[in-house]
Structure 1
């Protein structure tokens, strides 16, 4: 037996096994598939695996999955698909290590969504799009969403988690209050004689969502600021389902997961779309992306039956007890762990989204706009906290800073000033004769909005 001071040798096979197990835990296998049935041709997807980025400690890879459900035309969905990822990445400093990069994602997602909306509105096109955007880095999944497409996750242990928010006015009282306080009106379609039909909508414009990218004719209180949730998965992995409202208007999370259990991601996505269309008919573009996140040694296999869904805020699951015979290595690498919530924030206020406690002191450079990354001269930037009633710790002269145009957009979203894009929204308030060349009543104008492709009219 070796004494305490002597070096003990470890068999090469054990070292190789440890290294292999460590790599498997660091980098799960990502399998994905998608399917869709088109009614209007306004749903678009982005699926990118093995995206590379240079970091302070080398090169790493991540995967991106996006679903863009357009309305009132496809321009906003196409533009967002082509530009959102670059706008997000441009908001993250290049010299971060992996942990810092993951921690920077929530803020960068907010900046990227707002910049994409700002740039698209400059093109003076009036279409809009919902966005559900998923970034997978190792076992960390970060989801940002505006609108009513959803992302759900079933863990390997059987728990169901909701990783996105629903920004329909019908079911979100807080968002209704925010819009009315910012200058918009919320109500149902008035058909005359006091009769109101359909879901709650924002007027002018008739949009039934409180958040989207685009929709410049509705007013900027329909904000592009996303709800963001970030979780660290257990080593058991699980299955993500990202679908447009064509699926979720028909299927619950439990039904969607059950109908495709044991199938490959491609087959699962096709089955979910088939179930949705079979149940209610093809009334809207219906799109589904399925992503399996698995340990490398674990083949794609039937997942266990779902346990009781975890609603509202993500709650940590109880850690499974290990048997005393298990080794420390087995505990670290083989036994499923809990799903851990790392970040969750849904406020529509930029000052709140950029002011939260943050581990990185260099997330925002002093003379760079926090949204559009424009370089500014000293003294040109406007603090994100200017005009807010935050605590003493968030002083108006503290950063991060915005350029003048991003500050104007921030204030327009908060209802503090009209912006240039809101001028078009005022057309909805003009007499119908000046807009459409007819003397029909304002109720007919609202009917036009209902059937002109505004999001949500398909299900009325």
Structure 2
């Protein structure tokens, strides 16, 4: 506790102004547009505005924008488009207020991504997909991503922020280290004679991504655990650009923002796609979604100031962290909405134990006898706590959750390289003959043992050179 002399007293008039400002805070207006040019027919989008969520005292709305870039077929992209939102929402309790719901979203997104991947892999399809998934509730934007599609934000003040991570092995050393430590191999495509071509890939399978949904034939160390970032926009709003790698292979983030500034979302999305195709030609599916988050239109508004221009290297260190609860002079002076983008949450670890940890603002989010991933009921005594492998054994208690069912625990261990998963199973029968003398008779016993192995596939048929 602060000494008495260090406590910041806030005048009642300021508190009343803050309360009044909060009461008058209105939800932003959203407008969106999308465009695309197809080469393989494996890019899919999901746009759902005005999704309703029931509160204890009413109904609130949120919007969802998703981009799914499939490879090795479109099955994974289609399945994820149809099921991911349902799986994410199924991991959030229904009795949360808005602040609790927003705080629960990052962990629910992790659970929803993993469940979608697990369910799709049970269909024994080898297709895979990248995912960039944005949920907008009021001024708060939450983005979860696996793969190499990208979501960027241009704030109303002219700054550019990355809200997704790039999981290409070529440019992500941390992911390369994770895969090799889990039992995979990273290298380029070998054409024979020692000649290597193309980007770094993960073997078996030959995927150049370290995270995706699907891809059951490339090993479980290609994980579906998403990078998640959550930010709060200023009351002036901003523009989101979500695009597949067909755009980002041709345009930088600055170029994408600059080429469409001042255009409507529809026109902006079309311009970004046209610019990308003009630079490199139509070599891959090229898809873009543009979302404008703006304050409600009011009469006699002053025109916004001209946007600031920035050079390269402006993407990191530009977020203002969520201010502490302690009062300060700036708290006294500023009682309106912030004029900067406020970072609320960021986490990119591939460890389920870290991402579903019980140390969380919503302590009762995962119930005692419900699997934190698949939401299936767990019989008492059969759940496996994520705390079971904690290094701090002195604080571990058997009833500390969240819990995983045995099936989801198997998937967790496979992703961590602790259990073989992937490849094609085969069965061997071993026969043993034993002659036993009993009651002066020679009896012959036949013993049969059955062993099931997994063939690690060194290559996967139909490698997608763009994935």
What range describes the TM-score normalised by the shorter chain of this pair? 0.7 to 0.9
Tell me the equivalent position of 1:205: 205
- CA apart distance, 1:419: 3.2
* 1:401 is aligned to 2:392: no
- CA apart distance, 1:168: 0.4
Give me the whole-angstrom Cα distance separating, in 1, the residues matched to 2:51 and 2:23.
18
Residue pair 1:408, 1:419 contacting (<8 A) in 2 also: no
Tell me the equivalent position of 1:429: 457
Task: Please identify runs of 4+ aligned residues in structure 1 that moved more than 3 A.
Answer: 21-26, 298-303, 305-310, 390-397, 419-430
Q: Which runs of 5+ in 2 are unaligned?
A: 1-16, 324-331, 427-452
Residue pair 1:130, 1:213 contacting (<8 A) in 2 also: yes
Tell me the equivalent position of 1:454: 464
Deviations, residues 406-427 of structure 1 (Å, cap 9, x unaligned): 0000001001012366749955
- CA apart distance, 1:454: 2.2
Counterparts of residues 136-175 of structure 1 (less than 5 Å)? 136-175=136-175
- CA apart distance, 1:157: 0.7
Give me the whole-angstrom Cα distance separating, in 1, the residues matched to 2:41 and 2:341.
36
Deviations, residues 298-357 of structure 1 (Å, cap 9, x unaligned): 6998972443564346522999xxxxxxxx99x655x75221110000000000111163
1:371 to 360, 366, 373: 373
- CA apart distance, 1:297: 1.9
**How many residue pairs end up in the alignment?**
412
For the aligned residues, what is the CA RMSD?
A: 2.7
Give me the whole-angstrom Cα distance separating, in 2, the residues matched to 1:86 and 1:255.
35
Residue pair 1:67, 1:131 contacting (<8 A) in 2 also: yes
1:315 to 296, 316, 319: 319
Tell me the equivalent position of 1:216: 216
Counterparts of residues 270-281 of structure 1 (less than 5 Å)? 270-281=270-281
Deviations, residues 119-167 of structure 1 (Å, cap 9, x unaligned): 0001000000000000000000000000000000010011110000000
Tell me the equivalent position of 2:102: 102
Residue pair 1:72, 1:455 contacting (<8 A) in 2 also: no
Q: Which runs of 5+ in 1 are unaligned?
A: 1-14, 320-327, 431-445
Partner SS state of residue 40, structure 1: coil
* 1:414 is aligned to 2:424: no
* 1:387 is aligned to 2:389: yes
* 1:78 is aligned to 2:78: yes
Residue pair 2:219, 2:422 contacting (<8 A) in 1 also: no
Residue pair 2:322, 2:344 contacting (<8 A) in 1 also: no
Give me the whole-angstrom Cα distance separating, in 2, the residues matched to 1:364 and 1:318.
25
Partner SS state of residue 429, structure 1: coil
Deviations, residues 94-126 of structure 1 (Å, cap 9, x unaligned): 000010000000000000000000000010000
The structure richer in strand per residue is 2
Residue pair 2:156, 2:307 contacting (<8 A) in 1 also: yes
- CA apart distance, 1:392: 4.6
Q: 1:32 to 1:221 in 2, by over 3 A?
A: same
* 1:248 is aligned to 2:258: no
Deviations, residues 213-249 of structure 1 (Å, cap 9, x unaligned): 0000001100000000001111110100000000001
Give me the whole-angstrom Cα distance separating, in 2, the residues matched to 1:24 and 1:248.
39
Partner SS state of residue 272, structure 2: helix
- CA apart distance, 1:395: 5.0
Tell me the equivalent position of 1:127: 127
TM-score by length of 2: 0.82
Structure with the greater alpha carbon radius of gyration: 2
Q: 1:429 to 1:115 in 2, by over 3 A?
A: closer
Tell me the equivalent position of 1:66: 66
Residue pair 1:260, 1:268 contacting (<8 A) in 2 also: yes
Q: 1:421 to 1:203 in 2, by over 3 A?
A: closer
The structure richer in helix per residue is 1
Tell me the equivalent position of 1:304: 307
- CA apart distance, 1:27: 0.6
Tell me the equivalent position of 1:28: 28
TM-score by length of 1: 0.84
